[in-house]
């Protein structure tokens, strides 16, 4: 089956004016798209229920260096202000395949992305997604089930598929189980002291302190995940990713939006956690630990310190991102709640949905490496 085989004319998406009579929608591609990621964009990020630092203009301009397709930014404006926005890219699924709209940048650098919607203009999300879907044959994005993109898609493309593929974890500030987490951390420090270990926790916030703390975290992360084949090592194992992260974290730190918590045991860093801030929203970006020391759970101390530092800086909630939500983990210890993640696939029209999904499954099956018999 090929994408070109599906040619029957079908009903188009709802006209934009039918969704809202007020906001003006602008679609830009290539370098012009990146120019829309400005101060107005950051104001809109700050107006979200949980502002996501990795949707800030600073982060997105940096992540655009990694995009594999053509950057595509859609905004909705009213009275000179942004009331809706989406940072995306357009690429081909395969040679001669359908054109897909995805989030801007590689999956390894996406942390709970969503569209931006002004709370006073809820219809702007539908406008933005309808315009984005009009730029390609299909849209495929990972979204929070509770987010604005998931809500708008039910109105714009009710034929879409959205299987749940994982979960992220959100903790309010102060965390519901903060006192318990502190007591457990204090016990671990006392236990390490009884074994002869000296433990301290410090947080880097000044740009001059953030840079060396990040280098130390690189070393821990690379040693801990050296043999992992998935996206985890991409934070530190390749020189290109280290340079990108150093540049991006430095850019965020220049605005006072980075906190790196470090756990030091006997003068050596044994755990670290990077957190980002935007307005009242925090995001725990990356954590790594060095096992085998006197501390049994150094990662718990790092996550606790990172969340407390973000809360002290003004965060009312922190997105702890994907995975590691086991009952014994640091996220559960703080009282974080689960939020499902869906992998959305929406063809431009309902008639194209089933053929494109079938084509997607075939291409994945063909591209999947065959298992080897021993």
Domain 3-164+341-367: CATH superfamily, name plus number: Gcn5-related N-acetyltransferase (GNAT) (3.40.630.30)
The per-residue pLDDT for range 325-369, each reduced to its tens digit, is 888 899 999 999 999 999 999 999 999 999 888 877 777 666 544
pLDDT computed for residue 316 by the predictor: 98
Q: What is the CATH number of domain 176-335?
A: 3.40.630.30
Position 260 pLDDT exceeds 60: yes
**Distance between CA atoms of residues 52 and 114, nearest Å:** 9
Q: Do the beta carbons of residue 318 and residue 49 sit within 8 Å?
A: no
**Helix spans in the chain (H):** 16-19, 31-34, 39-46, 57-63, 124-133, 148-156, 178-194, 207-224, 239-254, 298-312, 330-334, 350-367
Cis peptide upstream of residue 174 (ω within 30 degrees of 0): yes
DSSP letters for 112-135 = S---EE-TT-TTHHHHHHHHHHTT
Strands 70-78 and 99-103 come out as unpaired
Q: Do the beta carbons of residue 89 and residue 81 sit within 8 Å?
A: no
- At 328, is the secondary structure helix, strand, or coil? coil
The per-residue pLDDT for range 165-188, each reduced to its tens digit, is 999 999 999 999 999 999 999 999
Q: Do the beta carbons of residue 322 and residue 113 sit within 8 Å?
A: no
Domain boundaries of the chain, sorted by first residue = 3-164+341-367, 176-335
The per-residue pLDDT for range 93-127, each reduced to its tens digit, is 766 678 999 999 887 788 889 999 999 999 999 99
What separation, in Å, do the N-terminal and C-terminal C-alpha atoms of the chain show?
A: 34
**Distance between CA atoms of residues 316 and 51, nearest Å:** 10
The per-residue pLDDT for range 300-337, each reduced to its tens digit, is 999 999 999 999 999 999 999 987 788 889 999 999 99
**Distance between CA atoms of residues 309 and 85, nearest Å:** 29
Average pLDDT over residues 5-27: 54
Nearest to 358 by CA among 171, 44, 50, 138: 138
Torsion of CA 184, 190, 192, 196, to 10 degrees: 180
């Amino acid at each position: 089956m090929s994408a070109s085989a599906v040619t029957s004319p079908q009903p188009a998406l709802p006209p934009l004016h039918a969704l809202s009579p007020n906001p003006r929608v602008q679609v830009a591609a290539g370098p012009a798209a990146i120019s829309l990621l400005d101060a107005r964009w950051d104001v809109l990020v700050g107006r979200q229920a949980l502002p996501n630092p990795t949707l800030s203009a600073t982060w997105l301009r940096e992540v655009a260096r990694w995009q594999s397709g053509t950057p595509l930014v859609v905004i909705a404006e009213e009275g000179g202000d942004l009331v809706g926005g989406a940072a995306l890219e357009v690429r081909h699924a395969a040679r001669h395949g359908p054109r897909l709209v995805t989030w801007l940048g590689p999956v390894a650098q996406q942390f709970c992305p969503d569209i931006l919607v002004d709370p006073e203009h809820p219809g702007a999300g539908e406008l933005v997604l309808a315009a984005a879907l009009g730029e390609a044959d299909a849209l495929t994005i990972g979204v929070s089930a509770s987010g604005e993109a998931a809500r708008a898609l039910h109105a714009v493309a009710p034929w879409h598929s959205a299987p749940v593929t994982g979960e992220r974890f959100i903790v309010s500030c102060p965390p519901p189980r903060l006192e318990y987490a502190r007591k457990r951390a204090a016990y671990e420090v006392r236990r390490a002291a009884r074994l002869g270990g000296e433990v301290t926790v410090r947080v880097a916030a000044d740009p001059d302190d953030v840079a060396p703390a990040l280098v130390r975290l690189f070393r821990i992360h690379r040693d801990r995940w050296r043999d992992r084949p998935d996206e985890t090592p991409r934070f530190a194992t390749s020189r290109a990713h280290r340079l990108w992260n150093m540049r991006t974290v430095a850019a965020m730190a220049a605005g006072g939006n980075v906190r790196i918590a470090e756990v030091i045991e006997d003068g050596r860093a044994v755990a670290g956690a990077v957190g980002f801030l935007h307005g009242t929203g925090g995001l725990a970006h990356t954590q790594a630990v060095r096992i085998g020391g006197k501390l049994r759970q150094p990662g718990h101390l790092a996550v606790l310190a990172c969340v407390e530092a973000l809360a002290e800086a003004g965060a009312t909630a922190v997105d702890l991102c994907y995975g590691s939500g086991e009952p014994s983990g640091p996220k559960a210890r703080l009282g974080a709640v689960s939020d499902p993640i869906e992998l959305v696939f929406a063809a431009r029209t309902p008639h194209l949905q089933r053929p494109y999904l079938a084509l997607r499954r075939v291409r994945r099956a063909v591209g999947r490496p065959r298992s080897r018999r021993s």
